[in-house]
Amino acid sequence: MVFDCRVTRDKKEALLDELSSLLKVIDDKSRMEILRILVNGKSYGKALSDIIGISTPTISHHLEVLKQAGLVKEEKLRNIKYFYADKDRLKKIIDDINKYFFNAE
């Protein structure tokens, strides 16, 4: 029984570490706005820059951070890189947040 509690505690700790890292990634207004746009469909750097009103290099930086966190995926068509939100990953993160806060184990 003590072992089971330890496993549960270790799983919660691992979940906390993962969620903490991901929340740090989206703890930026521009990244949140980029994600909101990309949840609704594909876009590319220049279009995002025009919509949000920040430079294309800054958009590229934010997209790279979001990509490394697994929140955004990239697809190249001809010479343009299109980005889109990984909706399944975002839904899982939301589910994990709910589990962490509302499912006492």
> Residues 44-101: pLDDT tens digits?
999 999 999 999 999 999 999 999 999 999 999 999 999 999 999 999 999 988 888 8
Contact of 86 with 92, CB cutoff 8 Å: no
Contact partners, residue 7, CB within 8 Å, separation at least 6: none
pTM: 0.83
Domain residue ranges of the chain, discontinuous segments joined by +? 2-102
| 57-62 long-range contacts, CB within 8 A, separation 24+ | 58/30, 59/30, 59/34, 62/28, 62/30, 62/31, 62/34
Contact partners, residue 58, CB within 8 Å, separation at least 6: 30, 49
- Which class does domain 2-102 fall in? mainly alpha
Residue 12 has pLDDT above 90, yes or no: no
